Chain A
Amino acid sequence: MPYIPHTPDEIREMLGVVGARDVAELFDEIPPALRPQSLNLPRGATEMAVRAGMERLAAKNRIDMVSFLGGGYYDHYVPAASDLLLSRGEFYTAYTPYQPEASQGTLQAIFEYQTAVCRLLDMECSNAGVYDGGTALYEALMMAVRHTRRKKAVVSETVNPIYRIVLATYTRNLHLELVTVPHKDGLDDMEGLAAAVDDKTAAVVVQNPNFFGNVQDFTELFAHAAAKGAVSVLSCYPVLQTVLKTPGAMGADIATAEGQSLGLPLSFGGPYLGIMTCKKALVRQMPGRIAGRTHDAAGRTGYVLTLQAREQHIRRQKATSNICSNQALCALRALINLCLTGNEGLTRQAARSIENANYAAWKLCAIPGVRLVNAAPFGNEFAVVFPVKAKLVARKLMDEGVIPGFPLGRYYKGLENALLVCCTEKHDRADIDRLVRRVENVL
């Protein structure tokens, strides 16, 4: 299917049909004062000049550093075959094609992505993916609001702070009540959460492992929420779902995830992948696209977009959501990675990451004055407390080529001395020993 912009002749013809003088006239509705005065773009340049400029810009990146940054985005190994398969012309577009049934291969890939994601999270239904982990969580909250027709949401403070900012921003004008239940030494306050969930609550929103890296079991909280008629929403880290109790096993109604860790390279916040799964009972509230498998009149297997009747091209302003693109290419990448890595590979990736984190935590805590924020089990990420501000430690180590982690004080008052440290299978003992030595030197 060609993706070709309109020719000047076509534009003239269309303007003639609607009776407009030029394209600008279509924007007459918008007062001139509200229009951008200038896009502030440089003049056109030659390919050579652009390339040189881009290379100068790229050279500003420090790619020699050892990083222990996590906080929702993780540097896992991406198999080389992934790039090769992804760049095939048949797949290389970010969009679900219109007239989707003409693109059976794309629909099959989406269907297989949905299947893989459902198996990983142990959930019944998945959509084709949304923008990222934060917007997936917002869409999950809105599913709960529509389903319950209630206006209150209980959110644990241990949910990724960036996601909580997304929730607050997106719901600012929707007359919803977001109740944040404070963490207790980095752990979810299970009693506080349960107490906050009442019969006016649409959703309880938690995360596993939580932002502090701690692994938790929300089974009881979700049962309590169900008894109150509230929807339980769990944001999770996909790679670790091979070794942790799954959202499905905990009884989550909706499970979301940032899909970046499934083979998407870290790149300034995106494009990433929002994974959205739910119980079958909620599937009609699911936003976006869902690919289904069926058979045609001759009995041959075919793939279709299903449950579209509530989408915006049919329902206009009454649509379930205004998500109209999925992250088809990113979802495909996640699928390729899941297939290449497989269940065994993903389990080993998770186990190795957790082992590395345990080694790092053990070595760091052997330094006098350094301790863990809490003694609860963690996955591949943990929070340590220094006798000094974590920001200072981070700054000093970065001068020496090590990003030691994420200083928690930025989002959590009282934890200015705490650092969130993450490990993946890409670290080795030498990297971790280097981190520990550098921390020892600056304390």
Chain B
Amino acid sequence: MQKDLLYTKTHEWARVEDDIAVVGITDFAQEQLGDITFVELPAVGDTVEAGQEMGSVESVKAASELYSPVSGEVIEVNGDLEGAPEKVNSDPFGEGWFIRVRLSAEPAGLLSPEEYEEIAKAEH
């Protein structure tokens, strides 16, 4: 569990620094999904909205929606995932990040590491 991050019930994380947030999925999520084969992300310049669908992640088991934890404009997308989606499995909080967002609003309704841990535990 990464202590410096905020989480969603749908297993995304956000690292917020000033008005920028980096977004990805949690270690628990990648473990549940299994080998990830494809990540579909928004494009640079797209707007994402907290709680709304922003893409999908596909593993050998299933394809699942991604929900944005924050609202704002996408300023960078992790292009490495196109050729190496397995980075989400090997390093979900680092090299396996998804998008970088310039926030249009203060993040709200996100879970603390402790709160998220409870949810993950319950789902296990």
- Write the residues of chain A forming the contact surface with B, with a CB cutoff of 8 angstroms: 284, 309-310, 314-315, 318
Contacts and interface: CB of A to CB of B under 8 A. Distances in A.
6 contacts: A309-B37, A309-B58, A309-B59, A309-B61, A309-B63, A310-B63
Contacts of B40: 284
Most chain A beta carbons < 10 A, residue from B37, B61, B62, B63: B63
B65 A309 contact: no
Given A309-B62, A314-B61, 16 more contacts: A284-B38, A284-B40, A284-B58, A309-B37, A309-B58, A309-B59, A309-B60, A309-B61, A309-B63, A310-B58, A310-B63, A314-B62, A314-B63, A315-B62, A315-B63, A318-B65
A25 B18 CA distance: 60
A292 to B, nearest CB: 12
Contacts of B59: 309
A314 B37 CA distance: 16
Nearest to A315: B63
Nearest to B60: A309
A310 B61 CA distance: 10
Interface of B: 37-38, 40, 58-63, 65
Contacts of B63: 309-310, 314-315
A309 B60 CA distance: 7
Contacts of A314: 61-63
Interface residues of B, dominant DSSP: strand
B40 to A, nearest CB: 8
A315 B59 CA distance: 12
B87 to A, nearest CB: 18
Nearest to B65: A318
Most chain B beta carbons < 10 A, residue from A284, A309, A310, A318: A309
A119 B59 CA distance: 29
Closest 10 CB pairs of A and B: A309-B63, A309-B58, A310-B63, A314-B62, A309-B62, A315-B63, A284-B38, A309-B59, A309-B61, A310-B58
A314 B63 CA distance: 8
B74 to A, nearest CB: 15
Contacts of B62: 309, 314-315
Contacts of A309: 37, 58-63
A343 to B, nearest CB: 35
A318 B56 CA distance: 11
Nearest to A320: B63
B82 to A, nearest CB: 11
Nearest to A310: B63
Nearest to B40: A284
Contacts of A315: 62-63
Contacts of B61: 309, 314
A39 to B, nearest CB: 39
A102 B63 CA distance: 24
B90 to A, nearest CB: 20
Contacts of B37: 309
A284 B63 CA distance: 11
A314 B34 CA distance: 14
A318 B38 CA distance: 17
A310 B40 CA distance: 12
Nearest to B37: A309
B9 to A, nearest CB: 18
Contacts of B38: 284
A315 B38 CA distance: 16
A140 B63 CA distance: 21
B67 to A, nearest CB: 13
A313 to B, nearest CB: 10
Contacts of A310: 58, 63
Contacts of B58: 284, 309-310
A318 B62 CA distance: 11
A314 B58 CA distance: 11
B25 to A, nearest CB: 16
A309 B58 CA distance: 7
B120 to A, nearest CB: 22
B78 to A, nearest CB: 18
Contacts of B60: 309
Contacts of A284: 38, 40, 58
